Amino acid sequence: MIVFKLSIKNMAKSIKDYSIYFLTLVLGVAIFYMFNSLDSQQAMLEVSKSTHEMINLLISMLGFVSVFVSVVLGLLIVYANNFLINRRKKEFGIYMTLGMGKRQISKIILLETILVGLISLLARNYNWYICITIYVYISCKTF
């Protein structure tokens, strides 16, 4: 119970710190989805045959790119996480001097991360919709 309360409160209070993390996640996830869902877009199904072939080629190429993107994204998330944890070293120190175990502290961090993840997942849905529309529009225009 206390763990849950602490997580929520910590998140609300350190929203500024989290906004960096949040933005990273939102942008990351949005870009990732953009890369991987190009072929299932409505606009893509309605283009002419020759354009369709070209787009297929583009998609298979994007497959490789998306591996690269996921690696970069992974590193970015790890970095953002470390940044956050470092900022809160002292707080964890206080928990430890009060006798909280490593497991309990991990629980707090885990819960906070899950909460942030959930929110960014929700935000992504809106963001992604806007981004993908622009993206598809541009790629259709180029061919």
Partner 1 sequence: MERILEVQNIEKYYGTKSNLSKAIDNISFNVNKGEFVGIMGASGSGKTTLLNCISTIDKVTSGHIVVNQEDITKLKGNKLNKFRREELGFIFQDFNLLDTLTCYENIALALTIQKVNAREIERKVEKIAENLEIKEILKKYPYQVSGGQKQRVAICRAIITNPKLVLADEPTGSLDSKSARQLLENFEYLNQKLQATILMVTHDAFTASYTNRILFIKDGKIFNELIKGNDTRKQFFEKIIEVQTLLGGDLNDCF
List residues binding partner 1 (CB under 8 A). 1-2, 6, 9-10, 12-14, 90-91, 93-94, 96-101, 104
* Burial of 7 (C-beta count, 10 Å sphere; 0-12/13-18/19+): buried
Q: Strand ranges (DSSP E) for 4-136?
A: none
* Nearer CB in complex with partner 1: 50/86: 86
* Nearer CB in complex with partner 1: 33/95: 95
Distance in Å, CB of 12 to partner 1, minimum: 8
How far is it, in rounded angstroms, from Cα 70 to Cα 28?
9
Distance in Å, CB of 54 to partner 1, minimum: 54
* Nearer CB in complex with partner 1: 49/90: 90
- Rounded to the nearest 5 percent, the helix, strand and coil shares of the chain are 90, 0, 10
Distance in Å, CB of 22 to partner 1, minimum: 18
* Nearer CB in complex with partner 1: 45/99: 99
How far is it, in rounded angstroms, from Cα 122 to Cα 65?
25
Distance in Å, CB of 104 to partner 1, minimum: 8
User: 58 with 2: CB under 8 angstroms?
Assistant: no
User: 110 with 16: CB under 8 angstroms?
Assistant: no
